Every structure is written in structure tokens, then in C-alpha cells.
Amino acid sequence: MESVRVLSGANTPCNSFPNSVRAKVSNGRVSGQVGFAPLWRLRRRRRNGGLCLRLTGSVLGEGDESGLGLGGSSRDRDDDDDGVDRIQIQTQTTQSSGVDQRKKKQQLEKGLILGTERDGSGSVIGFHLIPPPGEIELSDSHEDAVIDEVRETEDIDGEETPQTRATYNVVFVTAEAAPYSKTGGLGDVCGSLPIVLASRGHRVMVVSPRYLNGTTADKNFAGAVDTGSCIKVHCFGGVQDVAFFHEYREGVDWVFVDHPAYHRPGNPYGDIYGAFGDNQFRFTLLCHAACEAPLVLPLGGFTYGEKCLFLVNDWHAGLVPVLLAAKYRPYGVYKDARSILVIHNLAHQSAINSEVSKPGKSGEVVHLVTESLGVEPAATYKNLGLPSEWYGALGWVFPTWARTHALDTGEAVNILKGAVVTADRILTVSQGYSWEITTVEGGYGLQELLSSRKSVLNGITNGIDDVDWDPSSDRHIAVHYSAEDLSGKVQCKIALQKELGLSARPDCPLIGFIGRLDYQKGIDLIQQAIPEILQDDVQFLKSSSMFQVMLGSGDPQYEDWMRATESAYKEKFRGWVGFNVPISHRITAGCDILLMPSRFEPCGLNQLYAMRYGTVPVVHGTGGLRDTVENFNPYAREGHGEGTGWTFSPLSKDIMLSALRVAIRTFREHKSSWKGLIKRGMQKDFTWETAAIQYEQVFEWAFVDPPYVS
């Protein structure tokens, strides 16, 4: 996918509108915006004979914003007597090394015909699209055209094969979106899925906070400019002024909600002292602002309007469907909008805090109330800016065992619960997890409610950003490699061992772990197993010559343990405490095995990255891990073997160690089987394109049913 911004050039009427022309070229389709007229959903068409002014240029590479210039001359002026000037856009891709194959293809885009828009004095103030009859299909974001259909009449070979699919105005609401903000997988998903949906013709906005924490991370927001739009949010007993910043990048409108509550040291949710005490306030603001953004922000000249599809991610965005139902629809606003709740992690709701979850006497998971994470005392309901009669949607009562004292009635407001009740549909990030959340073990108290909504509950396995995570072009790793030529992988391993101060031993298995240091991730199992893995224990297959590296941050007790383990096993163990994206790429490339003993895993991205990098996953068979890692069977396919890793179950230290032993024996003694495992994993399709098609199906279903009303 090429993403370009067309800057206005000399000698053209566009001179007075720098940055007013933007276009994206993807799979033979041009989308973007020109002047105040959105071009999204324009398809490539060839025209004989150009009209008027012509835009020409080259796509120089990812992120290049000056690739196209606007050229033109007087002879290009359109003298048709219809009173509009016209422009032809022509883009051509030039090759740049190391980018995705798709980027290496030359593309020629012709024939987008535009008209100018003039003010009363006759000055050009923008451009409109003028579709030649029967040649160009287009729509804009006017409300009556929000949901339209893309007719795809050409297949890859240029054959005429009519297909129709709907496109939507999609509004993601999320607490994090990479590369602007990321603490885990939520950021990855909300940073990459929107781009893929936009490339498929949808108009996509992502609304998240503009976090400024006084570190170099603030520069992530440098490309976002103040829109000048400011709204007043009535909540928490006062009126808050909230501003919007905006960046148009890779076909997506990235909208950042600005308020002083987002400007403080720490990550999006907390600092070294724990979760911020005002998170309910901070994310209430986000939700109110996200509901207003499609109505008030004229992005590219037009608002998104009311007929939107909100994708609300986890509890932080959970007030959005409640606000639509309680605050807007009763007044006839958003009556045709829909909302889909996307659950990335049910444990990230509420006082149900995974870091302090413990197995109870009868086997159920007991959660202690320590932090405010979306469940707050019932008295805080009045702060949310909702009509009082809607309390029931969010009202929640803790089971008796979870109450803190005899007089505690357990009454609370649970924002995610409100979203489960009011969202038009619910999605989880794998099919396995969509079932697990309806069980006592995985439902965190919401299982019955979720079961009652089974008819609108689906699971779609996450994709990965296959440009960012590509061993053949990854800028963070020492040597590039591919499934066809694996020689660079061992170089990456040696480079990693050197970087970490371990002896360079390509023959010794190197086991990696990357992730939040959290009870969810099964760190305690690794803790228990480390002595057996690293001590000179004959049971563990020459374990004296095995290495383990862990990268993670989170629970301080696990961070301390990693530091202590590194001191105890200087020759064999490295524990990198912190959040470091380049290192995470190097570990993914340099290790032989990625260990993921997650207690539960809604999808999991690291095992997908690992497989793409030829690193064999050994995972607990749960949720998305079970859905994505195929257990190795050396005897299948007449001895050629099948599978991409090992899934073990049930979750225990001993079972995990058994799986690791088998993996290590295969690494050492069955080289061809190991190579087969690597190659099969690398050839798996985990791209977002596949997931996006499934998302579109769910979008369609969302609009088949009427919206939620009380």
C-alpha cells in the first residue's frame, strides 16, 4: 500500500491550498482527499485523453509526504463551458529498496477528474470531483451517502468480475493506537486495522487521547495539528473544554482528544505509583469527545456525519454505545449509527484486576479489588453525564466474597458491562476467546450477560502489521531473511547474543519471552521453571548450554525477579526490564523458541510475530493461542510433518517443561523437522487483509438489525 500526500505545486490554482490534495494508492485504487472533497472510494479508471490540469508525481516510499507535486499549464486549462476547472491526477510508483513487494510494483493511476469550488468572489476555494458518466464512481461523506457500495469490476488480472460490497464511515475509539501510544496489543491493533480498512475503501477515523508525558514519546504527536474545534463536555459536575488534534496518515484520520488530564508523566493508564486515580474521568472525556467528533470535525472538508459505525475497544471506550443510546438517539441523533464493542481483554475491565487474580478454593478465579479500572462505586454514576434512568445499564453488584467489609453492598458502575448491554454487536479478538468469555473461568463475572448476547457475539483473530513485522525488511534486526533464504536468522541470533552479552552459540537453543509482566501471561510458571531450565539438570537435555531472554515490564515483583535471575544466571539468562520496541523485534528474530504460558490469551500477537520470523512458539492451549498455533505432528503428511509449534494443556509448570523439552529435542536432533516448522510458520497468512474481510461481514450484520434502543 502506498500512501502519499499530494502537495500543491507551482503555477496552479492549488497554490493557495498547500496540503489540500491528498491521495493514497493501494492495490490499484486511489483514495484520499482533494481540497475539501474526499476522494475516498475512487477506483482506478483509464481515460483516453486528459483534461485540464494534470497532477503527476512519484510515490517515493512509505511515509513520504512530498512524493507528488502539482503541475499544470494554461494549455491544460479546461475550457468546457460547464464552468468548472478540471484536474487529472496521475501517480506513478518508483521502487525503493527494502519495502514490501507490493510497493515495488509500478502503478499508474489516471483519470480522476476534479472540479474547482469557488467562493462568491470567484476565488478557488477547493475542488470537487466530477465523475465522467459511467467511468468513475465516487461518494463523499454527506450523510445520505455514508454507507455506500464499492463495485469492484476488475480483478487482479484486469478481468471484469462484478462484485459489490458496502463501505462505511468507521470510527475507532481506543485508549491507545500505535505508533502514537502503545502499552500492548490494543495499540498494535488500533494502529494497523484502521489503515487496512481505509485501504479497502472505508472512511476511517481513530479517536484516542493526546497523551503528553514530557518524554521523547511526545514527538509521536508532532504531526497532529490543532483542528481549532473545541467542545464542552458536561461531566463530573462541571464543564470540560476538550480540543481535537488531527493527522491524516495512511488514509486514516487520526484524531487526538486534547485535555490537561492526558498531559502527565507515565503511560496511558498510570505511573510508577500505579493506575491513575482519575481514569474514569479521563476515559469518560474520551467517550464524550468521540461521540462528538464525527458530528463536529470537518475532516477534509466534510464531517463523518451521523451514519457511523463505532468500533469501541475495551472498557475505556465502553461509554460510547451507552451515550449513543441514552444521550443521542432519544433526540433523533445517531439513530442510524451502529456500535460494535471489541473486547481485547475482559480482565482489563473493572476492579477485577488480573495482576492480583488468584485461584479460589473451588477453582474459580478470585479477583481482589485494588485499582480503579472501569468499575467504580455506584455513587460515581452521576459523574458520567448520563441520564439517571440509565443507571441499570451500568449497575453492577460484586459477589459477596469480593466485598471489602460487612456493610459493603457491592454496588458499582461497570463501564464495560454498560457496553455489553448497549452495543449493537460484540467482537472478541479470536473465536476461542469469544467462547471463553461466556464461561465462569473466562467471563470475569460477565459470563451470563455475555451468554445472553451470544447471537451478536463473534470472534475474529487479529492480524498483524506485515510491513512493520517483516524479517525481509525489518529495520530493527541485524540481517534480513525470508522463508526462502533463512541464513540471516542465525546471524540475528548471534547478533542478539552479542548485544545481550551472552556468548555467541548458534547451536544452543535460545528461548524468548516478550510481554506485559502480568499474572495473565503466566510469568509465575516461568519463575517456577527457571531453575530446571537453566540449572545443570540432566533431565533437561544439556540445559547447561541453553539460554533464555525475557523482555517485559509491569508488575514490580516480576521485574525484580527478572533482575535477580539475571544476576543468579549471568551466563544464561537475560531479563530486560522495560518497554522497548526495537529489542522486541530483535528477540523475535534472534530466538529459536518463543514461550507463552499465558493463563488466558484473547488473541496474542507475539506468537504471530514469532511464526512470521521463523521462531517456533511453545504456548498454553488457550484462547487465540490455541486458534493460531498448530501442534507439531512429525508423522503427518507421510512423514513430512505438519504444525507450526507446540500447544500444551493443562497449564502447569511440568506440562510446560515437557513441551519445552520436546521442542528443544526437535531443535537439536531433528534439523529437517525444525526447518519444516519454521517454514510452515513463516508461510502462514496472518495479515490484516484476511481479518478485515471478516470485520466487513460483521459490519454488514450490524446494519441488518435495528440499533439498540432502551
Ligand X SMILES: Nc1ncnc2c1ncn2[C@@H]1O[C@H](COP(=O)(O)OP(=O)(O)O[C@H]2O[C@H](CO)[C@@H](O)[C@H](O)[C@H]2O)[C@@H](O)[C@H]1O
Contact between 612 and ligand X per CB under 6 A: no
Contact between 344 and ligand X per CB under 6 A: yes
Q: Which is nearer to ligand X, 514 or 595 (CB)?
A: 514
| Beta carbon of residue 607, minimum distance to ligand X (angstroms, whole number) | 8
Contact between 584 and ligand X per CB under 6 A: yes
Contact between 442 and ligand X per CB under 6 A: no
**CB-based burial label for 119 (10 Å; 0-12, 13-18, 19+):** exposed
Q: Which is nearer to ligand X, 193 or 659 (CB)?
A: 193
Structural contact between residues 617 and 596, judged by C-beta atoms closer than 8 angstroms: yes
| Beta carbon of residue 596, minimum distance to ligand X (angstroms, whole number) | 8
Contact between 701 and ligand X per CB under 6 A: no
Compute the distance between CA of residue 425 and CA of residue 146 in angstroms, rounded to an integer: 20
Contact between 33 and ligand X per CB under 6 A: no
Q: Which amino acid is present at 170?
A: V
| Segment interacting with ligand X, rule: CB under 6 A, options 225-233, 393-401, 446-454, 575-583 | 575-583
| Beta carbon of residue 677, minimum distance to ligand X (angstroms, whole number) | 21
Compute the distance between CA of residue 456 and CA of residue 479 in angstroms, rounded to an integer: 46
Structure-block grid coordinates of residue 516: 506485559
Task: Provide the H-helix boundaries in 157-222.
Answer: 185-199
Contact between 345 and ligand X per CB under 6 A: yes
Contact between 512 and ligand X per CB under 6 A: no
Contact between 340 and ligand X per CB under 6 A: no
Q: Which is nearer to ligand X, 597 or 624 (CB)?
A: 624
Strands 86-93, 53-59: pairing kind:
parallel
Compute the distance between CA of residue 214 and CA of residue 88 in angstroms, rounded to an integer: 45
Residue 650, preceding peptide bond in cis (omega within 30° of 0): yes
Q: Which is nearer to ligand X, 458 or 606 (CB)?
A: 606
Which of 146, 429, 591, 682 touches ligand X by CB under 6 A? Answer: 429
Contact between 516 and ligand X per CB under 6 A: yes
| Segment interacting with ligand X, rule: CB under 6 A, options 137-145, 523-531, 536-544, 576-584 | 576-584
For 321-377, the three-class secondary structure string (H helix, E strand, C coil) is HHHHHHHHHHHCCCCCCEEEEEECCHHHCCCEEEEEEEECCCCCEEEEECCCCCEEE
- With cell 484520520, the residue in question is 253
Contact between 611 and ligand X per CB under 6 A: no
| Beta carbon of residue 312, minimum distance to ligand X (angstroms, whole number) | 14
Which of 38, 522, 602, 707 touches ligand X by CB under 6 A? Answer: 602
Which of 36, 302, 391, 579 touches ligand X by CB under 6 A? Answer: 579
- Listing DSSP states for 680-691 in one string gives HHHH---BHHHH
Which of 553, 565, 622, 666 touches ligand X by CB under 6 A? Answer: 553
Write 370-373 long-range contacts (CB < 8 A, 24+).
371/274, 371/275, 372/275, 372/277, 372/279, 372/280, 373/275, 373/279, 373/315, 373/348, 373/349
Which of 590, 604, 614, 617 touches ligand X by CB under 6 A? Answer: 604
Q: Which is nearer to ligand X, 339 or 553 (CB)?
A: 553
Structural contact between residues 365 and 441, judged by C-beta atoms closer than 8 angstroms: yes
**CB-based burial label for 49 (10 Å; 0-12, 13-18, 19+):** exposed
Compute the distance between CA of residue 151 and CA of residue 141 in angstroms, rounded to an integer: 17
Q: Which is nearer to ligand X, 39 or 517 (CB)?
A: 517
The mark string for 616-655 relative to ligand X (x by CB under 6 A, - otherwise) is: --------x-------------------------------
Contact between 610 and ligand X per CB under 6 A: no
Structural contact between residues 432 and 451, judged by C-beta atoms closer than 8 angstroms: no
Q: Which amino acid is present at 490?
A: V
| Beta carbon of residue 538, minimum distance to ligand X (angstroms, whole number) | 34
Contact between 225 and ligand X per CB under 6 A: no
Q: Which is nearer to ligand X, 85 or 355 (CB)?
A: 355
Which are the contacts of 462, defined by CB distance < 8 A and separation ≥ 6? Answer: 185, 188, 189, 429, 430, 603, 605, 608, 624, 691
Residue nearest to ligand X (CB): 184
Q: Which is nearer to ligand X, 185 or 645 (CB)?
A: 185
Per CB under 6 A, contacts with ligand X among 530-549 are none
Residue of 257, 477, 518, 485 lying closest to 373 (CA atoms) = 518
Which of 225, 230, 379, 581 touches ligand X by CB under 6 A? Answer: 581
Q: Which is nearer to ligand X, 204 or 596 (CB)?
A: 596
Per CB under 6 A, contacts with ligand X among 167-196 are 184-186, 188-189
For 76-121, the three-class secondary structure string (H helix, E strand, C coil) is HCCCCCCCCCEEEEEEEECCCCCCCHHHHCCCEEEEEEEEEEECCC
| Beta carbon of residue 504, minimum distance to ligand X (angstroms, whole number) | 23
| Segment interacting with ligand X, rule: CB under 6 A, options 113-121, 289-297, 499-507, 580-588 | 580-588
Contact between 385 and ligand X per CB under 6 A: no
Q: Which 3 state secondary structure label does DSSP give 658?
A: helix
| Beta carbon of residue 482, minimum distance to ligand X (angstroms, whole number) | 21
Which of 199, 227, 606, 644 touches ligand X by CB under 6 A? Answer: 606
Per CB under 6 A, contacts with ligand X among 456-475 are 462
Number of neighbouring beta carbons within 10 Å of residue 85:
24
Which are the contacts of 253, defined by CB distance < 8 A and separation ≥ 6? Answer: 203, 204, 205, 206, 246, 297, 299, 300
Q: Which amino acid is present at 332?
A: G
| Beta carbon of residue 341, minimum distance to ligand X (angstroms, whole number) | 13
Contact between 601 and ligand X per CB under 6 A: yes
| Beta carbon of residue 547, minimum distance to ligand X (angstroms, whole number) | 19
How many residues at the interface with ligand X, by CB under 6 A? Answer: 26
Contact between 206 and ligand X per CB under 6 A: no
| Beta carbon of residue 615, minimum distance to ligand X (angstroms, whole number) | 12
Handedness of CA 128, 133, 135, 136 (dihedral sign): positive
Q: Which 3 state secondary structure label does DSSP give 529?
A: helix
DSSP character for 632? P
| Beta carbon of residue 588, minimum distance to ligand X (angstroms, whole number) | 8
| Segment interacting with ligand X, rule: CB under 6 A, options 105-113, 167-175, 567-575, 577-585 | 577-585
Q: Which is nearer to ligand X, 184 or 209 (CB)?
A: 184
410: left (phi over 0), alpha (psi -120 to 50) or beta: left
Return the biggest CA–CA distance within the chain: 89
Which residues lie near ligand X (CB under 6 A)? Answer: 184-186, 188-189, 344-345, 429, 462, 514-516, 551-553, 579-581, 584, 601-606, 624
